[in-house]
Chains A and B, each alone.
Chain A
Amino acid sequence: MPKLKKEKLLDMYRKMVRIRKFETRVEELHVQGILPGLKHLYIGEEAVAVGVASCLREDDYIGSTHRGHGHLIAKGGDVKLMMAELYGKKTGYCKGKGGSMHIADINIGILGANGIVAANIPIVGGAALSIKLRGTDQVAVSFFGDGGANEGIFHEGLNLASVWKLPAVFVCENNQYAISTSQSTTCAVAKIADRASSYGMPGFTVDGTDVLSVYEVTSKAVARARKGEGPTLIECRTYRFKGHYAGEGSRELTYRSQEEVEKWQKMCPVKRFKSYLVKEGIFTESFLEDIDHQIGEEIEEAVRFAEGSPYPLPEDALEDLFVEEM
């Protein structure tokens, strides 16, 4: 296990709890019919986003997915602006134009969530190309799922990033189901990381429920990218505790069993990390419970901010099609 400072561990813990509580609240608001539209919850996968993003600097880039809330929070996204966006309010990250699947914050390197599976792979590749051309030591990270690894752009993107030796890290969050279809029936290799060899880059499979394991593997890949040695493919084995979308309900039992869900819930990444921190004597349980409480308050404040914010004017829909400065 990597030796990490207490502040770093606490920051990681906070982010994992922030994701869990944000998503739990989003689910409640969805069930109450308050939030419009589609939401894909990240509950159960927190260790991946936090393990990866904890290896990054603010000026590094990430490209996210339709299931993006966790990545954004882990990279430092503002939960108030995120929540307001989910409400469709003018104060949201995208002024209500994007919603759950299209949040970006370019100032902290978030190149955007993306509603099209695997579509951020070449965009992140392009950010890595930009880094190389500008001569900085930034790194660009693409998140995608096991479903995304079967899109053609996965092949085009990883190949080109490797050919040009770009400072990129490709993180496959293998939560084992592309909506309802099991990876075991759609992927010709048992480990998605094995595909790395086709692109002349290292590939690793890691326990995606253990934030420190994810951190350890990613930190090496990030160091390699920063040194100009090229990209890495990391497969994080994880599981989404909820359905593909918020509100999937009992349909999830058409493709996976209750026993399977419960088995993975026993490996809850947030609980695992919390008990590690307590067991190792790094923090006391009551200290971490205070943290949990503070973050719960933070999320409630985000909800209040969103609820108190104005909607955009209908005709605001016609703004922002182009930059108008020419």
Chain B
Amino acid sequence: MREITYGEAACEAISEEMEKDNRIFYMGEDVGRFGGAYGTTKGLWEMFGDERVKDTPMSEAAIIGFALGAAITGMRPIAEIMFCDLLCLAMDQIVNQVAKIHYMFGGKVKVPLVIRVPFGGLRRAAAQHSQHLEAWFLHTPGLKIVVPSTPYDVKGLLKAAIRENNPVMCFEHILLYQTKGRVPEGEYTVPIGKADVKREGKDITVISYSFMLHRCLSVAEKLYKEGIDVEVIDLRSLYPLDMETVIASVKKTNKVAIVHQASLTGGVGAEVGMRITEAAFDYLDAPVKRICARDVPVPFSPVLEDFVVPTEERIEEEIKKMV
């Protein structure tokens, strides 16, 4: 099977869907000729032109609001917010409008809208360009959230998101855009709300998503050689959360750690951990462990950032303490 990058797979998903459905259009900052700050839209403008690949002013609230207005009047927009941190500038439109309109209007208005959000960290970009804010949106009923970690998944999940008649936020890690992976030539989607057991193991379950998943897989390989058999689950979607897959794994391994790049307190790990406790308390041989960024703004200096964000060494050390 051919190998393409995460960025290429994402663009392929969008261009294939745009070719099939002329209600789909794309809007965001520097997404036209420039091809997106991280290549999020490379080649799209050349294929579809100004009309369907629209550069916007630096007006994040307007990007989401205009996309929403178009979505409820017959179009199927994809809106990009260049950095996760910049979602803060569009919070009213996302939280009070996009997430609530279908419900608030008694289910009579559909919102087929995809919000693509690159997030970063580990790029020495400091506190305002490194945040992982996905848990805020998990805490907002009315939004679906996907966090693909591979080229295969980003293509399949974006296609599923574009075909949804509900708002979907897709968080994509900037460090993944250049990574390569197998992607079939043919048509496929990845269902929203299905986790993926990336590696089977019997000693402990490690749950992660996006970029941190790869650190977990690398640690799992290393530990296997040392006789520790780690099961690694990629959540892939944060809403809906596939607790069925998670609980089945926990019942098998009896130990679980959750790893994410977002800060610890009030994060996805807190929610997943609590649900495990509610559903499988009797199966746990140890408290649920969270291995997450420390609760400070992301600092600039590499020495500081690498202390704050989970490293492979930290993940390894914490897992070893548990088994």
Contacts and interface: CB of A to CB of B under 8 A. Distances in A.
Partners in one complex: yes
Interface of A: 61, 63, 92-98, 102-104, 106, 111-112, 114-116, 119, 121-131, 133-134, 140, 152-153, 156-157, 159-160, 163, 319-323, 325-326
A125 B96 CA distance: 17
B239 to A, nearest CB: 10
Contact of B73 (A98, A103, A126): A126
Contacts of B109: 104, 106, 112
B218 interface: no
Nearest to B25: A133
A163 B56 CA distance: 9
Contact of B106 (A97, A133, A157): A97
A79 B297 CA distance: 51
A133 B48 CA distance: 13
B62 A94 contact: no
B136 interface: no
The interface centre, meaning the residue of B52, B108, B141 with most chain A CB atoms within 10 A of its CB, is B108
Contacts of B110: 323
B227 interface: no
Interface stretch (B64-72, B119-127, B250-258, B271-279): B64-72
25 contacts: A93-B106, A93-B108, A94-B105, A97-B104, A97-B105, A98-B105, A111-B69, A112-B105, A116-B97, A123-B72, A125-B62, A125-B65, A125-B69, A126-B70, A126-B73, A129-B66, A129-B69, A130-B73, A160-B57, A160-B59, A319-B107, A321-B102, A322-B102, A323-B110, A326-B164
B51 interface: yes
Contact of A156 (B61, B70, B102): B61
Interface string B126-155: 000000000000000110100000000000
Interface in B62-101: 62, 64-75, 77, 92-93, 96-97, 101
A63 B66 CA distance: 12
A65 to B, nearest CB: 13
Contact of A320 (B57, B73, B106): B106
A323 B73 CA distance: 16
Given A122-B93, A131-B73, A133-B75, 18 more contacts: A63-B69, A93-B106, A97-B106, A104-B101, A111-B69, A112-B109, A115-B96, A119-B92, A122-B61, A126-B73, A126-B77, A127-B72, A133-B25, A156-B57, A157-B65, A320-B103, A321-B142, A323-B102
Contact of A127 (B70, B102, B105): B70
Interface of B: 25, 51-52, 56-57, 59, 61-62, 64-75, 77, 92-93, 96-97, 101-110, 141-142, 144, 163-166
A140 B144 CA distance: 29
B103 A119 contact: no
A127 B51 CA distance: 15
A319 to B, nearest CB: 7
Nearest to A111: B72
A93 B70 CA distance: 22
A5 B163 CA distance: 47
A123 B109 CA distance: 13
A119 B96 CA distance: 9
A126 B72 CA distance: 9
The interface centre, meaning the residue of B25, B66, B71 with most chain A CB atoms within 10 A of its CB, is B66
The 9 closest A-B pairs by CB, nearest first: A126-B69, A122-B65, A320-B107, A94-B106, A126-B66, A156-B62, A156-B59, A95-B106, A123-B69
A131 B104 CA distance: 24
B168 to A, nearest CB: 10
B78 to A, nearest CB: 13
Contacts of B164: 323, 326
B101 to A, nearest CB: 7
B62 A153 contact: yes
B141 A321 contact: yes
A163 B57 contact: yes
Contact of A94 (B52, B73, B108): B108
Contacts of B64: 122
B68 A126 contact: yes
Contacts of A125: 62, 65-66, 69
The interface centre, meaning the residue of A92, A121, A152, A323 with most chain B CB atoms within 10 A of its CB, is A323
A140 B93 CA distance: 18
B97 A160 contact: no
